[in-house]
């Protein structure tokens, strides 16, 4: 399916051909799209990584735990102190150890070196969103989905933290992309390539984030089985060989903990895997509202996609992506992870739904009210984000950073152009100015405004 009027998975065709801008026709080509997504992802994530101090106590503790790993060579004990035990599964600590040992001698490593795995995983996650969308749609639609994921504010923020969130997201995306292909494939024929990717990603996800990833995957599988009232397709996942692969990946973590520090370390490691990470106590629906605010600018595009999603509600892509997104939202609200740690896994299926619908020219709001609603949902957070470059320094008795302020103003100009296109009912035309606005505003905030705030004051603003 490469023509402009792509049929949906159930054979239906959109009412009219998509009017696609030149940049989408060129950069959306199969050979160019991944490279363009890498450039966009780096533009959204790199600014400020090298200048910023630890953004929150959680990041500082994670970095300190990895430092202790390097100094003591206790690679199965990521606790800052022995009394703290194993707060996190060690997978991301191991990636950080590899980064700081490659770039420094460990003790002299700067904070940005610990963030490199998070930045790399964020870029990889955007590419995996593209790969996930390719299971259902041609390159241009997948490219749009990747753009919307790359622009997401929460992904850009988490990429600048030396924490497990983006690494866990990349593992989830790899597993879900393989699962989508297995679910759509022939029931009688196993694809060992997809099976291997699925179980390897699942194992790596457990190393990075404990049971968070298996919970997302199992809920998706349960929802797919319930919606289609079919379980035979699970044979294509190869459960028994797959569990052996999973055990082979995860078991060394527990064996190493036991051999290094005995039964107590083993129990601590098991507790870390079962716990998975940080805890949130926000009541419903605060986590969901916070997540959608942090997904800016994606919600505005989703408003345009709702009609197309409903029209294709029985198609393979809508069924699979909703069976992922809705249980993940429930997991976000009703488990301990909460926002922001449990929010990132909700974003990719929404980005793919919006991107595929935009590419099919089905993203038409039901009226002027919907168009203006999308414009408001887009421009209000943009104003708030741009205001950070002025309000935060002034609140702390400092002058705004001139480069940060200039970038914020130019970002607002791009945001205004995008909002006008939303209001006019043309979401596809809003993608380019929205991308320019997101890059400029995040670059000004992270590269210039926030680094000029004194670390002590900075810590107050970003304390958990």
Percent of all residues in the chain with a pLDDT value above 90, rounded to a whole number: 58
Q: Give the mean pLDDT of 119-131.
A: 98
Estimate to the nearest angstrom the gap between the alpha carbon of 408 and the chain centroid. 24
Q: How confident is the model at residue 12 (pLDDT cuts 50, 70, 90)?
A: very low
pLDDT at 249 over 80: yes
Question: By the 8 A CB rule, do 87 and 53 touch?
Answer: no
Q: What angle do CA 436, 113, 145 make, to 5 degrees?
A: 35
pLDDT score for 367: 67
Q: Above 60 in pLDDT, residue 70?
A: yes
Task: Tell me what pLDDT residue 15 has.
Answer: 40
pLDDT confidence tier of residue 84, bands split at 50, 70 and 90? very low
The CA distance from 404 to 445, in Å, is 6
- Among 89-93, 186-190, 313-317, 361-365, whose mean pLDDT is lowest? 361-365
pLDDT over threshold 90, residue 262: no
Half-sphere exposure of 36 (CA within 13 A, CB side): 23
Residue 189 CB-density burial (10 A; 0-12 exposed, 13-18 middle, 19+ buried) = exposed
pLDDT bin (cut points 50, 70, 90) of residue 263 is low
Mean pLDDT of 31-51: 95
Predicted confidence (pLDDT) per residue in 316-355, tens digit = 999 999 999 999 998 888 776 666 777 899 999 999 999 9
DSSP state of 338: -
For the range 264-270, what are the long-range contacts, defined as Cβ-Cβ under 8 Å and sequence gap of 24 or more?
265/76, 265/77, 265/86, 268/79, 268/85, 268/86, 269/76, 269/86, 269/89, 269/90
Per-residue pLDDT tens for 378-419? 999 999 999 999 998 888 888 899 999 999 999 999 999 999
DSSP labels for 281-333?
-PPTTHHHHHHHHHTTTHHHHHHHHHHHHHHTTTSHHHHHHHHHHHHHHHHHH
CA dist., res. 217 & res. 182, Å (int): 13
Q: Where are the domains of the chain?
A: 370-464
């Amino acid at each position: 399916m490469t023509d402009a009027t792509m049929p949906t998975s159930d054979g239906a065709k959109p009412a009219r051909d998509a009017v696609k801008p030149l940049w989408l026709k060129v950069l959306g080509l199969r050979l160019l799209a991944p490279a363009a997504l890498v450039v966009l992802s780096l533009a959204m994530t790199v600014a400020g990584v090298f200048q910023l101090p630890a953004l929150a106590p959680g990041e500082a503790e994670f970095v300190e735990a990895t430092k202790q790993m390097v100094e003591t060579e206790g690679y199965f004990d990521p606790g800052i102190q022995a009394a703290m035990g194993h707060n996190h599964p060690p997978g991301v600590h191991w990636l950080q150890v590899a980064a700081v040992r490659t770039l420094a001698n460990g003790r002299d490593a700067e904070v940005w070196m610990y963030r490199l795995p998070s930045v790399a995983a964020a870029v990889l996650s955007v590419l995996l969103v593209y790969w996930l969308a390719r299971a259902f749609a041609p390159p241009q639609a997948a490219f749009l989905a990747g753009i919307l994921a790359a622009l997401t504010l929460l992904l850009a923020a988490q990429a600048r933290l030396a924490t497990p969130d983006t690494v866990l997201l990349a593992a989830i995306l790899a597993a879900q992309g393989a699962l989508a292909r297995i679910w759509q494939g022939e029931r009688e024929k196993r694809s060992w390539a997809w099976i291997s990717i699925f179980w390897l990603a699942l194992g790596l996800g457990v190393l990075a984030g404990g049971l968070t990833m298996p919970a997302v995957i199992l809920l998706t599988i349960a929802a797919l089985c319930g919606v289609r009232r079919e379980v035979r397709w699970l044979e294509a996942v190869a459960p028994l060989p797959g569990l052996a692969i999973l055990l082979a990946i995860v078991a060394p973590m527990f064996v190493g903990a036991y051999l290094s520090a005995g039964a107590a370390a083993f129990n601590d490691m098991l507790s870390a895997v079962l716990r998975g990470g940080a805890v949130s106590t926000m009541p419903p629906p605060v986590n969901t509202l916070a997540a959608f605010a942090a997904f800016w600018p994606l919600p505005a595009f989703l408003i345009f996609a709702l009609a197309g999603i409903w029209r294709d509600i029985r198609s393979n892509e809508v069924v699979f992506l909703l069976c992922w997104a809705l249980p993940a939202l429930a997991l976000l609200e009703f488990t301990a992870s909460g926002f922001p740690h449990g929010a990132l896994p909700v974003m990719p299926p929404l980005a793919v739904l919006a991107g595929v619908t935009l590419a099919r020219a089905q993203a038409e709001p039901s009226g002027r009210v919907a168009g203006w609603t999308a414009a408001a949902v887009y421009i209000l957070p943009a104003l708030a984000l741009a205001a950070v470059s002025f309000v935060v320094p002034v609140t702390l008795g400092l002058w705004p950073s001139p480069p940060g302020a200039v970038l914020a103003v130019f970002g607002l100009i791009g945001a205004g152009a995008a909002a006008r296109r939303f209001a006019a009912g043309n979401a596809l035309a809003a993608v380019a100015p929205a991308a320019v606005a997101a890059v400029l505003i995040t670059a000004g905030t992270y590269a210039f405004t926030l680094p000029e705030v004194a670390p002590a004051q900075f810590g107050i603003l970003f304390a958990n």
